[in-house]
Amino acid sequence: MADYLLGIDLGGTNIKIGCFDKELNLIGKTSVPTGSEMSPEAIVEKFYATSNDLLSDNGLVLDDVCSVGVGVPGIIDVNTGVIMACPNLPLFRNVPLKDMVSARMGKPAIIENDANAACWAEYVNGAGKEVNHMIMLTLGTGIGGGIICDGRLIHGPTGGAAELGHMIIELDGRPCGCGQKGCVEAYASASSTAARAAEAVEGSAESSLAAALKENGEITCKDVFDHADNGDKLAKEIIEGSCRALGLICVQLANITDPQTIVFAGGMIAAGDAFLDQIKHYYAQYIGGLYQKGSLEICFATLGEDAGIIGAAALGLTAVNN
């Protein structure tokens, strides 16, 4: 019986593969390095070989697998399963990955943007398990996202939806890597939070972070949170700025797709409840009263780093049912 699912998270550095039963219980997982210079054919071959190893380690064979889902850090035409572009894997341009994976593995396959796959994981098996309308924002180097309306991922015609990090919070504000100015990603991502702190310290604002910068040559986002915890005023203001930006984004999203839950994920959520409470505080401050959107739940993701493989596996199953 083909009762198992493979979920693959293709990253610029590693390929993670997980094997799950149909209730999304993890049977086993593995990780192998990717090379950014690898051809699509070589990567699909690596999917095949690594999956077989993983299955074999868990007493299974490919015949036990009913579907394969793959999350990819790029722009995907979900209807055709073609990767249009993938910044960290430059050889993936107009690559029909779905057909290639399906042919090599001999299984129905689905290809999805990695942020959407992680969002889907939280939706089916994590923080959004009880709702039908959810948005996830992943706070890392950038800010990625996924939007689920009435149980469906929103893709747009060309996979360009849910670029939530590029919502503008300040006209003509901080420049963003995307070419826009004032994107929320330029203020409230982990790296932008750290960058704003470093700029303030270099601009000679008084802060205990100055010593950290001198000692380590850089300030990390974790430094900013740690120094804020220890009472540093500048660090607190920087964190507050990030929370204000994220609270504002929640207001915009509440007014656009009206989610029941907004889930924050990524490294920054390690900062814990004080961080979450501050985002909620600004949401409550900005949302006003009339539209009764006070019932929106804002929370942290629960699946951690496995979200990518869980979501890919869960989406793979939808390829079987179509």
If binding is defined by CB under 8 A, does position 65 make contact with its own copies?
no
Q: How far apart are CA 297 and CA 134, in angstroms?
A: 10
* Span interacting with its own copies, options 116-124, 174-182, 194-202, 272-280, rule CB under 8 A: 174-182
* Span interacting with its own copies, options 62-70, 108-116, 234-242, 283-291, rule CB under 8 A: 283-291
If binding is defined by CB under 8 A, does position 180 make contact with its own copies?
yes
Q: How far is the CB of 161 from its own copies (least distance, A)?
A: 4
If binding is defined by CB under 8 A, does position 94 make contact with its own copies?
no
Among 31, 52, 58, 132, binds its own copies (CB under 8 A): 132
* Span interacting with its own copies, options 27-35, 121-129, 176-184, 223-231, rule CB under 8 A: 176-184
If binding is defined by CB under 8 A, does position 293 make contact with its own copies?
yes
Among 98, 236, 244, 280, binds its own copies (CB under 8 A): 244
Among 23, 37, 150, 215, binds its own copies (CB under 8 A): 150
Enter the tokens of residue 290: 């009339």
Q: How far is the CB of 282 from its own copies (least distance, A)?
A: 10
If binding is defined by CB under 8 A, does position 130 make contact with its own copies?
no
If binding is defined by CB under 8 A, does position 254 make contact with its own copies?
yes
Q: How far apart are CA 206 and CA 210, in angstroms?
A: 8
Q: How far is the CB of 172 from its own copies (least distance, A)?
A: 9
If binding is defined by CB under 8 A, does position 148 make contact with its own copies?
no
Q: Which residues of this protein are in contact with its own copies, per CB under 8 A? A: 131-133, 147, 149-150, 152, 154-164, 166-169, 171, 176-181, 244, 248, 251-260, 286-293
